[in-house]
Homo-oligomer: A and B are copies of this chain.
Amino acid sequence: MMLPTGEDVRRARDRLAGRVRETPLVPAPELGERAGGEVWLKAENLQAEGSFKFRGATNHMLVLQEEGWRGGVVTASSGNHGRSVSRAARELGWPAVVVMPEDAPAVKVEACRRLGARVILHGTTSTARAELAERLSREQGLAFVHSHDDAHVVAGQGTVALEIMERLPSCRVILAPVGGGGLAAGISLAAGELHPGVEVWGVEPEGSACMYRSLQAGEPVTLDSVSTVADGLRARRPGSIPFALARRYLKGVLLVTEEEILATMRYLARECHLVVEPSGAVAAAALWAGKLDLRGRVAVAVLSGGNVDPALLCRVIGEGV
């Protein structure tokens, strides 16, 4: 297993310049009061295609291009990663195939098709999707772009940390959601190697805490089942690369409840005027719920994405009206 290095993140930053958006840092004074420090939000919900996934997907494909690859790509995804791969492929003029579950919401399928990708609906489990995607990769000569268990993808996600530290050098704590672990791993790698004074925490829903359990066990464990409204974080097992990096660089994993996630989505929309998806709210939810005492420090919670089902968003915002 080849682990990415801090230097890989730095190179990803250069490679992605002008291709991904530098997303803003938005102050969240109410979260600061609750957590006993100064809190900013890294608004990756304002990233191209609505999530941080565009960074890792683009970095992976630009590395392929540097290595002379001129073929297409394939990936397995039920959501933001597929959309980001479709967009990155369109920008490079490459064909893209996205394997999605048979029960994928029409809106997510449409988002990929609109970007020119070929969408194949197959099975309902991530294992079935991954198997088909890998078979297509072999048979059709397409490069496989993993959503999180990949050195270039992780290095791409780590660029979030470099942007944060460049704009807010006083930052001492970063919180990021954990699904398969790519984002938190990339950020903790970048902080650990390039900004060692910065503490990075992962945050998981209580009902989908594979990284928390794996770090406790000292090795990647597979959960029997997961259940959370945060559809982007329903991983049963962390990626090997993310786990190895998290073990080395992550300060720890905080857990939040479903109620805390939804209340934080509501706060972010009503008070901060930012639309986030449930997965995008979990890092801020840890501060909202007082799961970490900042002791006066400056912290950034990464809002990882904004692609939320309008019906759910509406229900969340309307509550208590």
Contacts and interface: CB of A to CB of B under 8 A. Distances in A.
Interface string A265-308: 00001101111100000000000000000000000000000100
A17 interface: no
A313 B314 CA distance: 8
For chain A, the bracket of interface size reads 20 to 34
A252 B24 CA distance: 32
A194 interface: no
A202 B313 CA distance: 32
A11 interface: no
A90 interface: no
B306 A314 contact: no
A76 interface: no
Copies of this protein in the assembly total 2
A151 to B, nearest CB: 29
Contact of A46 (B50, B273, B310, B320): B273
A317 interface: yes
A321 interface: yes
A315 B274 CA distance: 17
Interface in A19-75: 21, 24, 26-27, 43, 45-46, 48, 50
Given A270-B310, A273-B306, 4 more contacts: A26-B46, A45-B273, A269-B313, A274-B275
A318 interface: yes
A315 B314 CA distance: 7
Contacts of A273: 45-46, 50, 274-276, 306
Nearest to A307: B273
A33 to B, nearest CB: 12
A66 B318 CA distance: 44
B306 A311 contact: no
A316 to B, nearest CB: 9
Contacts of A24: 24, 26, 43, 46
A272 B46 contact: yes
Contact of A314 (B43, B275, B276, B321): B321
Interface in A214-234: none
A313 B43 CA distance: 21
Contacts of A317: 310, 313-314, 317
10 contacts: A24-B43, A27-B48, A45-B273, A46-B273, A273-B276, A274-B275, A275-B275, A311-B318, A313-B317, A317-B317
Contacts of A26: 24, 46
Nearest to A305: B273
